[in-house]
Amino acid sequence: MSERPPAIVLGHGSLAFGLVDAVERITGRGRRLHAISNEGLGGAELAARIREAMAETGATVLFTDLPAGSCSTAAVRAVHGIPGALCVMGANLPALLHFAMHDELEPADAAREAAARGGAAIKLYPDPARER
């Protein structure tokens, strides 16, 4: 497993750090993710911080906490024009766990699978579909 994180997790406040910490506690693979907060940063500053982190870590995959908002907007700005770079917006813990556990895949492929896993992990109880 590479020592450099293949993905960056962006979130409002301390959310990204909490998600990365949870991945570490559950899998021991939190090193595969690098957390960044938007706290105190404007859009241009956040995009610059993301680009710096991408250069430092070699990451080309970005996970954001919401499908819209400052983190996703800055992430899209940061990866624009970078071949192979990918943003997964609206990521959750199941998505990050899946990504962290699949270092045998190229980061973009693991991110695509993680996005599908994250969406499928959202459930309702009681499930209205089962009550029919």
26-58 pLDDT, tens digit per residue, is 999 999 999 999 999 999 999 999 999 999 999
Instruction: Flag residues of the chain having pLDDT under 50.
Output: 1
* Residue 70 resides in a domain: yes
User: Is residue 87 one of the residues assigned to a domain?
Assistant: yes
pLDDT at 1: 47
- What does the alpha-carbon distance between residue 66 and residue 11 come to, in Å, rounded to a whole number? 8
Identify any residues that bridge with 10 across adjacent strands, giving them in sequence order: 36, 64
Nearest to 27 by CA among 85, 119, 114: 114
1 domain-assigned: no
The parent domain of residue 109 ranges over: 7-131
CA neighbours closer than 13 Å in the CB half-sphere of residue 35: 20
Rounded Cα distance between 119 and 115, Å, is 6
Indicate which CATH number applies to the domain containing 40: 3.40.50.510
3-state class (DSSP) for residue 129: helix
The owner of tokens 């556990």 is 101
The answer to whether residue 2 is domain-embedded is no
- Tally of domains within the chain: 1
pTM of the model: 0.92
State residue 3's pLDDT score.
Answer: 65
Asked whether residue 30 is assigned to any structural domain, the reply reads: yes
33 three-class SS: strand
Q: What is the pLDDT of residue 130?
A: 81
- Cα dihedral across residues 95, 96, 97, 99: positive or negative: positive
